[in-house]
């Protein structure tokens, strides 16, 4: 079953000490998967060399906003969005027409809501054909910045579908960040490309 903890983003380590072991387990599993799929490449960490795949934080450029306003279906360059339609909405999806791009594997450990004003009351996700049940986050309304940390993290494989749905209570700006790590088969796409450039 799926478990999660809701707490202040800046107190994840204090309120959910298992986060460190979750991240270590997630990294080990993701690296093993990538080493098998991308052989003969080996893991090169944050500074990969020729013949290695690299690691980074999760990059917003692998996702797109699904707002219906002027930024509709735009690839994200930061985690900032504008939620312009209340009610049940898809608020984020893979930037390659709903799927993630080839050459990237994502380890998803949680979601952070980085605004003082939380504009959503419930979320749910779909990763490929796997549907993650609804999570009510109304208790987050009393937090300054909210983190939803999964007790069992998820892996978003390359070219997999990804959709984040939410019930939007009121329109306005929102910074919704995915927590975890990302592995990159072609490090040069991150090492030599400009900051905030598209990752394809």
pLDDT digits (tens, 9 = 90+) for 148-176: 999 899 999 999 999 999 999 999 999 99
Give domain status of residue 197, yes or no.
Answer: no
Identify any residues that bridge with 81 across adjacent strands, giving them in sequence order: 174
What pLDDT shows up at residue 61? 93
Contact status, residue 183 vs residue 100, Cβ threshold 8 Å: no
For residue 70, pLDDT beyond 50: no
Do β-strands 52-56 and 146-156 pair in parallel, antiparallel, or remain unpaired? unpaired
pLDDT digits (tens, 9 = 90+) for 20-32: 888 999 999 999 9
What pLDDT shows up at residue 111? 95
**What's the whole-number mean pLDDT along residues 99-110?**
96
CA 74/CA 179 separation, integer angstroms? 21
In 3D, which of 104, 77, 199, 78 has the Cα closest to residue 160?
A: 104
CA 101/CA 95 separation, integer angstroms? 7
What pLDDT shows up at residue 40? 97
Give domain status of residue 48, yes or no.
Answer: yes
Band the pLDDT of 69: cuts 50, 70, 90: low
What pLDDT shows up at residue 7? 85
Give domain status of residue 66, yes or no.
Answer: yes
Give domain status of residue 61, yes or no.
Answer: yes
Give domain status of residue 52, yes or no.
Answer: yes
Peptide linkage before 8 cis (omega within 30 of 0): no
What pLDDT shows up at residue 130? 94
Give domain status of residue 132, yes or no.
Answer: yes
Q: Lowest mean pLDDT of 14-18, 38-42, 83-87, 107-111, name the range.
A: 14-18
Per the structure, the count of domains in the chain is 1
For residue 90, pLDDT beyond 70: yes
Give domain status of residue 200, yes or no.
Answer: no
Q: What are phi and psi of 141, to 5 degrees?
A: -65, -20
- 72's tokens: 């509709």
* Domain that residue 137 falls in: 4-187
Band the pLDDT of 181: cuts 50, 70, 90: very high
For residue 191, pLDDT beyond 80: no
Give domain status of residue 193, yes or no.
Answer: no
**What's the whole-number mean pLDDT along residues 48-70?**
87
What pLDDT shows up at residue 73? 58
In 3D, which of 37, 44, 120 has the Cα closest to residue 83?
A: 120
| Between 107 and 145, residue with greater pLDDT | 107
SS (H, E, C) 54-76: EEECCCHHHEEECCCCCCCCCEC
CA 31/CA 54 separation, integer angstroms? 10
Strand boundaries in the chain, DSSP class E:
4-8, 42-43, 52-56, 63-65, 80-83, 87-94, 104-113, 120-127, 130-136, 146-156, 162-168, 172-184
What pLDDT shows up at residue 29? 96
What pLDDT shows up at residue 1? 59
CA 46/CA 192 separation, integer angstroms? 14
């Amino acid at each position: 079953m799926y478990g999660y903890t809701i707490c202040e983003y800046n107190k994840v380590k204090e309120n959910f000490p298992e986060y460190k072991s979750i991240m270590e387990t997630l990294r080990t599993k993701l690296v093993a998967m990538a080493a098998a799929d991308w052989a003969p490449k080996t893991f090169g960490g944050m500074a990969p060399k020729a013949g290695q795949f690299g690691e980074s934080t999760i990059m917003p450029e692998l996702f797109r906003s699904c707002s219906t306003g002027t930024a509709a279906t735009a690839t994200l360059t930061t985690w900032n969005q504008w939620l312009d339609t209340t009610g049940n909405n898809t608020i984020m999806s893979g930037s390659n027409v709903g799927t993630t791009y080839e050459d990237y594997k994502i380890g998803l450990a949680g979601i952070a809501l980085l605004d003082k004003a939380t504009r959503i009351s419930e979320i749910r996700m779909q990763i490929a054909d796997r549907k993650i049940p609804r999570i009510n986050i109304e208790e987050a309304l009393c937090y300054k910045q909210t983190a939803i940390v999964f007790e069992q993290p998820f892996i978003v494989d390359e070219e997999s579908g990804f959709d984040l749905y939410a019930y939007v209570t009121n329109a306005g700006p929102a910074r919704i960040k995915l927590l975890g790590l990302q592995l990159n088969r072609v490090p040069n796409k991150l090492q030599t490309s400009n900051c905030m450039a598209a990752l394809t």
